[in-house]
Structure 1
Amino acid sequence: MPNNRSVDGHDAAPMVLPAPRTPSPRDAPVLKWGVVAPGWVATRFVEALQTYTDQKVVAVGSRDAGRARAFADRFGIPAAYGSYAELVEDRDVDIVYIASPHSGHFEQAMQAIDAGRHVLVEKAFTRNAREAEQLIEAARERGVFLMEAMWMRFLPHIDVIRQVIASGLLGEVHTVMADHGLPVEPDAAHRHYAPELAGGALLDLGIYPVSFASLVLGPFASVTAVGTKAFTGVDGQASIVVTSPSGAHGVLNTTVFARTPTTASVCGTHARLEIDGHFYGPAEVRLIGRDHELLDTFVPDPLDGGLCYQAAEAARCIGAGLLESAVMPHSETLSMMHILDGIRRDLGVSFPGE
């Protein structure tokens, strides 16, 4: 039963969760997409677009022409290219989605920008903040849309959380907790362990809890990290404490050594939010009162993991003539890359060629 009693004991309106304001992915203007690097992530992305949106995937590019053709045949994509350069020069492509390992994002995104294509780049946006700054500057000069595909930020349950934080429903937020860990078998060639692919837990998994804490707390006042390196020298595990200017704490963890709950919580003086694992995908959100009573629950519609929402946001922005998204602006992407750079410095981790 909803608690109608305020903190000071007086009657108050019931504490309930708001409805998400997220537009339907089918309402976005239709763009023609080219896909770079037809791997597992690209597979999920194209499946989501073809199932839950009206977007058109018209081309795929890979360094392996046979792999590109197999991907194109599987999804009914008209054009398949054996190089990324050929794909970005295809005049039928409006926007390029880059799904390669982090190490390739900068070069491939720059190719697309130089060709005048709009770009959606998988997270982590680049290997480091320096590369991110160069891409953003190039996109602005060329007049093309550029966005980081931090898909978590566009999901309906995240919009519910945004509204709750903005409304003050939780009272003063003091603690945010989030984790993301999964066990990856030691293999020097695996992207999570390969330094040349900008591997490690942080850029692929840890970016989610760090981004979530930033979403809730705003700009960090401090970031402190400790960690353990994997056998290849990349970060295998990191525990991170961030603070806000008000003194709130974010307690975050990421690892490729073990499976963690991948849950999150936001704890305030009046109530808290609990987000199920995987908190960064479509997840149930519970509003819990000061006496641990369940006040309300939001249950999302799991649209194929939710990858369709970021594509719809890009299409809406491009349709409106925007060069960046207000949901995931360039400033937030840059902030995240600077924070991740600092954490890697604390852990003593760098990538070849940085």
Structure 2
Amino acid sequence: MGHHELESPMSVSSEEVFVIKGKNMSAMPAAPVPVSTSLRTYAETLQHLFTRHPRVLPGAQIQPGTLDPPRFVHVLAPFMVGPQRIDHVFVDQHGGLTVVMVLLEPDPGAVRFITGQIMETLATWFKTVTLRELRSQMENYWGSTNQKVTLIINELWPEGRTEEAFWENIQLRFDAHHLRFVMAAPQIPSGLVQVFEFMNSQFLSVQALGLELRLYGDEASSMLLVPRIVGGARRPDRKNEDPEPFIWTPARMESAIANVPDPLLARRLHQLLEIFVDKQLYMPGASLDHPFFGVRGLSGERLFTFELSGNIHLFFHEINQLDSILKRDDLLLSLRNLALLDAGLELKKKPIATQLRRNLFQLSEVEFSEFLSTLGRYTGG
């Protein structure tokens, strides 16, 4: 698979799209690939966007409903998985890997063939790819493109992280068989969208998505790019009523935790779930594709969230609602003493949330007990 040139350009539509700036509005041809733009140029445009502007992957569409949607940095291109070519590899702030295949001419009649290639790629990935191999290729790629891992880390975590923590984050997700597969094309055939929806309804740790990249305008002037995620999740088929928003109720979360392969992590997640539900502090996640739950802080807002991978996120807005600076500093000190928070974290530069440096199952029994004690002091409301 991988991108390739088409033999003939797409026809120009008579429709237009409009760009509004203040009181002014300008029109662009609504042809995804204008006649004046060669498909080689279109492929090169996508190559440039993926490598230089990772925001072309719309995190809020990929994980709707989460307070900390994935933010991506480009780490490798290309990467061969058996006979199949991965065009781009990204990592997000949660340590999750996203692989992208670009297909310039998805034939609606070839859905079965494309599905087979996708399944072969995923099967080969989990059977043969090692993080050691990935890391080696990433570092070689960074060397060839004059990138530094410190700059990549700073893009993901403005508050700072060590290189060791960066690789540990990726290792945790990799070992848990987390992978996001994205098929990028000007338009995804409806049959392939249905395949992605089915895969996402069956897989727990693998997410398969289509990314439609519609490029409008004229290469000689300005162009408009519209990214759209398709195939993310199946919606309930209800007539004359809006579908209820999905939330991770305690019962759903308990079932999801039962499928966590690591017994220590599963036990600790279940322990937290029981405590929060018993004390009426449980705050459900609302992303179908991303199971997580939170705990309410002293002011009633979300203080921490916990993922099935063991990742923990701290929410700064809740910290600033504490009724004294002394309480806030005591909480931060407690987290630093457990090596969960960087000593150099600057609250003035804080994002909405930050991922703690260590995973739930990286804590010793004594440290986990101390963490539970900290939770007891700063949760409630």
TM-score normalised over the length of structure 1 = 0.26
Q: Which has the higher contact order (CA 8 A, sep 6+)?
A: 1
The structure with the largest alpha-carbon Rg is: 2
TM-score normalised over the length of structure 2 = 0.24
